[in-house]
Amino acid sequence: MDKQTIRAFEKMQKREHLLRVLRDQMGLSRITREAFREESTKVIERYQLSDDEQRAYDRYAAIQQQRKRK
């Protein structure tokens, strides 16, 4: 994997972790639904993949699909 792909995976993992934490907090009534929406929007915007990272991830996913088919 190249640096762009690794960075893309790290961003996606961090984003999913933070969203999971927010969902758990909302489920335990520690934050309101409105606060959840605001915070999740911030997380998604902050950890959005750049065009280069998205291309690298798509290329990696395509390679993995080809390997599974063989």
Q: What are phi and psi of 21, to 5 degrees?
A: -60, -45
Instruction: Note the pTM of the prediction, 2 decimals.
Output: 0.81
4 within 8 A of 52, measured Cβ to Cβ: yes
The residue among 21, 27, 62, 68 whose CA lies nearest residue 43 is: 21
57 within 8 A of 11, measured Cβ to Cβ: no
- CA-to-CA distance for 50 and 56, rounded, in angstroms? 10
Other Cβ atoms less than 10 A from the Cβ of 55: the count is: 14
State the chain's mean pLDDT as an integer. Answer: 95
Model pLDDT for residues 50-66, shown as the tens digit of each residue: 999 999 999 999 999 99
